[in-house]
Structure 1
């Protein structure tokens, strides 16, 4: 990794921060509100361990948290406009035609019952069913870096079936129940509509459902989507002929079917697993996408952990002839969003939102996404500079 001098580092930070604040300015009708939001962003990037209203207020020099709270609550500005600004900013710095769009959710632990979307539900953040909010996110991952470009708050049916509760949390009219795969599909459609360059989509087993697969085929995008072991597998081509659940198929594979390869670099080196790949059907791309050409292959990818032999299963869609190593590489990009959640929570206060409203959650999360994108852009720009002999430490310590 290349590094920049201290002078260059400070210049990049200062110019990049000024730039994103200037980009945000048109979102606000009043200069004082724009200035407050700029200070809010400063607080997220600061070294305070908790990014609460009082902590941000102290960092901004305010006597109390009311101005910070107003930004998330009473202020009049559109969080979705900031979301789109973040996406465009990320693409300016990280765009690549072979990028992977990674979809996943994370939990926001809560004590009470008034925060919008809160309920007893499972979250991988805690590894159990607990009282929390769930946010679905899309991360853009390319050879230049990774950053969030979309988000949405999941509303369980106990919320969408209760109009009074929705009104109390200021949920906009017309917002009803939507499954997590449907929310992910909406994000994919928004990315495509914005001409976001990406070739692949990766996600865990929550999103490996048929309607999302069909949508991606129609969009001409490859995918590696997690499925459960009970997922039904059936081959249309004899390579070899198989039929049964993914778990059953995995148990019948001979030792020669498995290949050890890396899913990408981790913090301790290559993330090695054993993989098996079964081609299930060859289909014309034009059957789904009128502008598509050539054969594409529907397949089953199986990952076996070296330590304990634990299996994971993925349904795949890729141009015919795509090697197993490429599909393992795509699946490995899911690690980036997990690392992004960890950084955004530990360093930028992603889960420190104290507001209870729909708008407060989306505004807070969008501002954290902007802070994260800023770090990703600075790191990419700095690493592209000639190495300086005066500075040997990595520029930005987050997002390894």
Structure 2
């Protein structure tokens, strides 16, 4: 959908001679559509120039950080660089003056930084072979052949009735999820990817029994989720939590951070009284890179990245272990990976952004019209996609390479010449 919208904007601009002020945190999109670029930091423009010049030779450390921290399909990073890796920021408490000091980050240091952390954790060999990957599935460690999946989904269906007429009789059904099957092993990340309306979000809601399941089976840790009575779902959700992409919409604006975190603990009977829960909440905030002083604040008092961290803390609040600019996105993705390594967490990562899914995921499932059309190791799917639909998804990812930027600028000049000739 994003690629189609960008094509539409480009066509209208070129045909009508429109001027566009395009505001975005997605540098890949900026590379696809802009002629010139201005980079802002703390309310000031710190760098400006042609999009080719800025992307090819960024001068300001903030710009360098922004360009480096975006996931790319053709890179196999274990960890993303962040803006903080490129510069230090000192703020004068009295006058509010900001001093930026660039860090000397050599290519060797950058390579060491992005290579930290565990590699991919792939299915056992028999499971890979059953998916058709009999040869090299890409880099990664294989899970023990005797391991059992933590989550097993078989023939999952979620249908919605279509009703019509005065009596609202059912005349058909929408097959939002139509017979999908997959496994997820402990400590692993499965990426669910597909265009808007493909059924990936409905799948996530169905796994948690937040919506009714039409058919199929979901087994989590030897429990049949589809047959657990409602009275026992609360205990199950203490082991399965959801972190929403839009943190502002998912946080209650009338509750402080402390109230949100301790409420979740109280519901699941975690902690010995109010003081203990508050101490746990403070430790959780520190674990996700925030401060205990933030407990008394409300969601509107935080930045988007901070709200996302609160969402992560809330998801962890009931564990016994207890939409974003690219710089913040990199921090959150790194945080999720760190927490996974530290606590042995298992993720299902749902997104339409294939570059982010590839970075986060060990295994990947591609959805279209409620079905899984391709499934396998994320690196292998990127290298050799088997389905045309997967290939189109990969091609639709914004391309911020200099070659593509120059191609777009050439197309822009030709369109301008044609318009003037007419």
Give the structure-2-normalised TM-score.
0.25
**Rg larger in 1 or in 2?**
2
| TM-score in terms of structure 1 length | 0.26
